[in-house]
A = this chain, B = another copy of it.
Amino acid sequence: MMSRLAPRRPAWLFWWQAACPQGVSAQQRTWAGASRIPGTGSPWGATGTSPLVRRGSSSAFSCAPEVVLTRERYSVRRLPFSVVSEDDLAALERIVPGRVITDPEELEAPNVDWLRTVRGSSKVLLRPRTSQEVAHILRYCHERNLAVSPQGGNTGMVGGSTPVFDEIIVSTALMNQIVSFHNVSGVLVCQAGCVLEELSRYVEERGFVVPLDLGAKGSCHIGGNVATNAGGLRLLRYGSLRGTVLGLEVVLADGTILNCLTSLRKDNTGYDLKQLFIGSEGTLGVITAVSILCPPKPSAVNVAFLGCPGFAEVLQTFCTCRGMLGEILSAFEFMDAECMKLVGLHLHLACPVQESPFYVLIETSGSGAGHDAEKLSGFLEQVLGSGLVTDGTLATDQRRIKMLWALRERITEALSRDGYVYKYDLSLPLDRLYDLVSDLRARLGLHAKHVVGYGHLGDGNLHLNVTAEAFSPSLLGTLEPYVYEWTARQRGSVSAEHGLGFKKKDVLGYSKPPEALQLMQQLKALLDPKGILNPYKTLPTRT
């Protein structure tokens, strides 16, 4: 009943305006305004309620099995940090009065990652409101040799934002103020704890967009996004945060405030220190404020959702698309049939096109609706006519666009409902991108529930996920180091955008030479000589 792009038909172009299967519409009502992370009913920034509590009280996982302590599942030894004493708690209470959380129930959620794969045993969480409070906290912890685990929205994929042992959690949840926004330049300055979706709404009301978008937008904090150098759905168009983040304020391990919070598009006065902290996952400093360049909001956005008969056709569609859509192409995402099956099964989202081995989501963003429609029309005619695409649907209004995006954005959520998820986030040469998925599917056979491949094709970024009923060391042994060795042979990256966190830190060597590892260790020693900042993360375990 849905308007479709019928191939090889002269007047094939139907804009998906009204018709839509009931299942998709019903689902849309449920998640349209909600966060994309399960169990977070409303954006935390809006209510001021701690995200940690909300996530902990999630109904989605209320019947989920207990998460095993990280220190029990993995072979990891506590480093000789001090243990938080009653005197420490009193001192911290003086720094952030009324915002020292020690209630075990409140600490349940921030000790566990949202994928429910790692679990720390922190006894205290702090909620500073200002950079000065963060500075006081770190100065104190540095002197006392207390380890710290900085935490934003706790939406990471690699166990980077939860403690491993009893590290003090420093949450940015109350640092959620917008400092300034410039209506001409589009420069937004805000505290690190601002929720991405809130920022997005704020700048969109003013005619701009945040140059970053990702499935976890309803929960993730901008500080965490920058600390992990998040990629996401707009990277193809606006580039990485390394180009769009103009300035940072960072608190160093010893409590020094490093204020590089400028709003200048160009500044070549010495080393670009902020780059050290982008993507260092809280191991070199705690980001407390961010200055980011927001591009003007495109006046016309279109989304096409297409079915392709094979991965070779996906790749050819991409090349055709880049040539014909040029500067208005803002996203090129793909997902395989297994992904579609899972979002149907667990989230009841209906496939808007004929069943196909592969699906492609293409977004255009431009300043002229008519021009964009014409370009898109020419492109679709080409790919449908040549058989690269077998079926498609097109959305131009916000509601339908969101519905199509949800199919792609909510795959992570569907996977997490399917069981224990082994996640791999790889950069690979485009022509070999899907080979690993097929290869693994054959290799694992019935040992896995599902082996799926999806991701940001335009960036060469594959999300390869394997689900099973529960965590199993033997399945892990079949997957690793196989996946990493395969990736290394293609000179790919074993972490394209998720970072290393706790779970990937020891596979860094598959993508970086020993000289780079050594320099990383030297930088860590320089900036955090006692190693108190997010220990057991990012840097390989010293042997």
Instruction: Report the separation of the CA atoms of residues A528 and B538 in the bound assembly, to the nearest whole angstrom.
Output: 25
Q: Are B508 and A270 in contact (CB under 8 A)?
A: yes
Kindly list the 7 A-B residue pairs having the minimum CB-CB distance in the complex, ordered from nearest: A326-B367, A243-B243, A275-B275, A267-B493, A266-B496, A264-B427, A371-B371
Instruction: Report the separation of the CA atoms of residues A492 and B279 in the bound assembly, to the nearest whole angstrom.
Output: 26
Contact digits for A410-445, partner B, Cβ 8 Å, 1 yes 0 no: 000000000000000001011100000000000000
Q: Are B326 and A366 in contact (CB under 8 A)?
A: yes
Any B CB within 8 A of the CB of A43: no
Instruction: Report the separation of the CA atoms of residues A259 and B260 in the bound assembly, to the nearest whole angstrom.
Output: 29
Q: List 24 A-B contacts (CB under 8 A).
A: A184-B431, A185-B460, A228-B268, A229-B272, A242-B243, A258-B519, A260-B512, A260-B513, A260-B516, A264-B492, A265-B459, A266-B459, A266-B496, A267-B495, A271-B538, A272-B275, A273-B516, A275-B276, A326-B367, A327-B327, A327-B328, A327-B365, A327-B366, A526-B526
A interface residues, Cβ below 8 angstroms from B: 184-185, 228-229, 231, 235, 239-240, 242-244, 256-260, 262-273, 275-276, 278-280, 284, 296, 298-299, 319, 322-328, 365-368, 371, 374-375, 427, 429-431, 456, 459-461, 491-500, 504, 508, 511-513, 515-517, 519-520, 522-523, 526, 538-539
Given known contacts A239-B243, A326-B368, A267 and B519 CB-to-CB distance under 8 angstroms: no
12 more A-B contacts (CB under 8 A) besides A266-B497, A269-B508? A231-B266, A239-B239, A242-B272, A258-B516, A259-B516, A260-B512, A264-B460, A271-B284, A273-B520, A298-B326, A367-B375, A368-B374
Q: Are A427 and B267 in contact (CB under 8 A)?
A: yes
Instruction: Report the separation of the CA atoms of residues A299 and B324 in the bound assembly, to the nearest whole angstrom.
Output: 10
Return chain B residues, CB-CB under 8 Å to A517. 270
Expressed in whole angstroms, the minimum distance between the Cβ of A252 and any Cβ of chain B is: 8
Expressed in whole angstroms, the minimum distance between the Cβ of A211 and any Cβ of chain B is: 10
Given known contacts A279-B271, A375-B367, A240 and B258 CB-to-CB distance under 8 angstroms: no
Instruction: Report the separation of the CA atoms of residues A522 and B524 in the bound assembly, to the nearest whole angstrom.
Output: 12
Instruction: Report the separation of the CA atoms of residues A268 and B257 in the bound assembly, to the nearest whole angstrom.
Output: 25
Q: Are B519 and A273 in contact (CB under 8 A)?
A: yes
Expressed in whole angstroms, the minimum distance between the Cβ of A489 and any Cβ of chain B is: 14
Q: Are B496 and A268 in contact (CB under 8 A)?
A: yes
Given known contacts A375-B371, A526-B522, A269 and B494 CB-to-CB distance under 8 angstroms: yes
Return chain B residues, CB-CB under 8 Å to A276. 271, 275-276
User: Which of A228, A268, A322, A519 has the largest number of chain B CB atoms within 10 A?
Assistant: A268
Given known contacts A185-B460, A256-B515, A266 and B427 CB-to-CB distance under 8 angstroms: yes
Q: Are B327 and A523 in contact (CB under 8 A)?
A: no
Return chain B residues, CB-CB under 8 Å to A374. 368, 371
Measured CB to CB, the nearest residue on chain B to A499 is B268
Return chain B residues, CB-CB under 8 Å to A280. 271
Given known contacts A184-B430, A260-B512, A498 and B265 CB-to-CB distance under 8 angstroms: no
Q: Are B258 and A497 in contact (CB under 8 A)?
A: no
Instruction: Report the separation of the CA atoms of residues A324 and B299 in the bound assembly, to the nearest whole angstrom.
Output: 10
Instruction: Report the separation of the CA atoms of residues A492 and B263 in the bound assembly, to the nearest whole angstrom.
Output: 9
Q: Are B515 and A258 in contact (CB under 8 A)?
A: yes
